[in-house]
Amino acid sequence: MFYLLISLLFTQVGFAQNTFSFPKIKSEGTSVQALTPNNWGIIESANGDLNNDGIEDLAVIFESDKTTDETRTYGDNTTEIIKETQKPRILAIFFKDKATGIYHLSNQNNDFILRSEEGGKLGDPLQQIAIKDQQIYLRFQGGSEWRWELGYTFKFENKDWFLTSAINLYFNQNSGDMTERVYDFKTRELYTTVGNLHRRDIANRKTSEVLYFSQLRTFKTFKKPWAWEIMPNVYL
């Protein structure tokens, strides 16, 4: 009986430890296919020069083939409070070597890309990944009658990926009532437009103010969309 109890105990511990873990993206490869982890697929990718060397680099969003339970951050940048069952996603950024043509991993982020179930009634919130002006652009949208659109721009500087600008649009699909905030983190300026989406030129009020924050956010310190309370009751 003693040995049976010990066996059951180790079996339960084994099940408890059988949790999901993200694969480690290969540090280098000659093609996006070679860089794709087993049991993961490519759902979006973009090519463009990210480090101003005249060579097209690569940004890829991978998605797991299988659903799993994830605890996701909502409301602030540290607390994980929502458990969701969905397919995890990874953002991977690669620099291409000019001489060899080999892609070298610059960043792997397992949290920032919204999952397919996080867009509400509109479905998958992922809208775009693009590379322009040595920056990565990420765009999301979601909601139902009240809808939201989020955009983020990251740039590689001083050996890290910094958030340089962002946009947050919140509007009513039927009435057109909306609030749009455009953030410039380089100049520390916030531009806010309140009014109507359908009558932008005649019904809207535009203001600007100084942005107050201690440090520029990176992929490491800005965990995911909606997780930064940049001002009281204003989340980015």
Where exactly are the structural domains of the chain?
Answer: 30-228
Q: Which of 145, 111, 122 is nearest to 226 (CA)?
A: 111
Among 11-15, 80-84, 128-132, 203-207, top mean pLDDT goes to 128-132
What pLDDT score was predicted for residue 120? 86
Range name among 54-58, 160-164, 208-212, 228-232 with the lowest pLDDT average: 228-232
d(CA 8, CA 111): 35
Q: Is the pLDDT of residue 9 over 50?
A: no
Q: What is the pLDDT of residues 48-73, one digit of tens each?
A: 999 999 999 999 999 999 999 988 87
Q: How many CB atoms lie within 10 A of CB 71?
A: 9
Summarize pLDDT for 93-136 with one digit per residue, the tens: 999 999 999 999 999 999 999 999 898 888 999 999 999 999 99
| pLDDT on residue 3 | 44
pLDDT at 1 over 60: no
- Mean residue pLDDT of the chain comes to 88
Interval 175-221: pLDDT, tens: 999 999 999 999 999 999 999 988 766 778 999 999 998 889 999 99
pLDDT at 106: 97
Q: Count the Cβ atoms, other than its own, within 10 Å of residue 161.
A: 22
What global pTM score does this model have? Answer: 0.87
CA 13, 14, 15 angle in degrees (round to 5)? 90
Band of residue 76 on the pLDDT scale cut at 50, 70, 90: low
Supply the pLDDT for residue 15: 38
Listed in sequence order, the residues at least 6 apart from 3 whose beta carbon sits closer than 8 Å to its beta carbon are none
Give, in order, the Cα–Cα distances in Å from 176 to each of 140, 144, 203, 208.
19, 13, 11, 22
Cα–Cα distance, 141 to 149 (Å, whole number): 4
* Residue 173 CA: distances (Å) to CA of 112, 114, 197, 199: 26, 22, 9, 13
What is the C-alpha separation between 117 and 73, in angstroms, rounded? 14
41: pLDDT strictly greater than 80: yes
pLDDT band for 79, please (50, 70, 90 cuts). Answer: low
